[in-house]
Amino acid sequence: MYDTLRNEPYKKYVESKGNGNFTAEYISWAVMHDKLKQYFNYVKYKVHEYTITTEKSCYTIPYMMLPDGSAVVKVTLSFETRDGDEHEHQECLAIRDFRMQASKTPDSAQVENTIRRCIAKAGSMVTGFGIELWFNEDIRDLDYRQPKLLSGDLPIKGHITIEQNVKLDELRRHPLFKDSDTAERTKFWMNTNPTEEDSSKAIIKLKEKIAELKKQSKEKK
């Protein structure tokens, strides 16, 4: 199985991304799926779902939540070879944010992208297609450090999250706050380690304030 696409040229399909702090090369899940469909009688994948039960409801999500709040996607790739043999392969992948850190509050786009990347990884592990792109990934992950707040402190459950911290910092730096003390007051407040709920409210208020200032600016013109 591993030799099916091991020597198949893949470099023309390689894409790259980065934000200045990291770069990564990858093959699109669509390219991988297309290759698998060409070589096997049928190909399908299953995204594992997990049940969440609360006092008020019970629902399923397409990823597994871990004790620290981060999440992992798990995919089962099923296929049949041309001689009729059926095979399955499972892969899992951590959901990461735009900084390639483990996301504690994954949104739908992050989940979707991780599922697709997990499918591509599963196909590569099975057939060898583009496997070089995964070389040394385990070594690179040794450099992983638990993400911290901008203050340098570790996030505490129930208090401001990494994502909220980054968003508030982005909002407070808006050019419309240049001639006010909003930026400094927000920074000081962020460093007091507010609750997650209060942080959500602060984000909404800052967005509303920015919208209000934009409106006032247009009216003056």
Reading the chain (221 residues) residue by residue, the pLDDT tens digits are 787 788 888 889 988 775 555 567 788 889 999 999 998 988 999 999 999 888 888 999 999 998 888 899 999 999 998 888 999 999 999 998 776 778 877 889 899 999 999 999 999 999 999 988 877 665 444 444 566 787 878 888 889 988 888 889 989 999 988 878 998 999 999 999 999 999 999 999 999 999 998 888 877 76
The residues facing 73 across adjacent strands are 93
Q: Roughly how many angstroms between the first and final C-alpha of the chain, as a whole number?
A: 68
d(CA 65, CA 60): 11
Q: Give the HSE-up count for residue 5: Cα atoms under 13 Å, Cβ half-sphere.
A: 24
Task: Measure the CA–CA gap between 172 and 167, rounded to whole angstroms.
Answer: 9
The two three-digit tokens of residue 178, written as one number: 């240049």
Token pair, residue 116, equals 């697709």
Q: What is the reported pLDDT for 203? A: 93
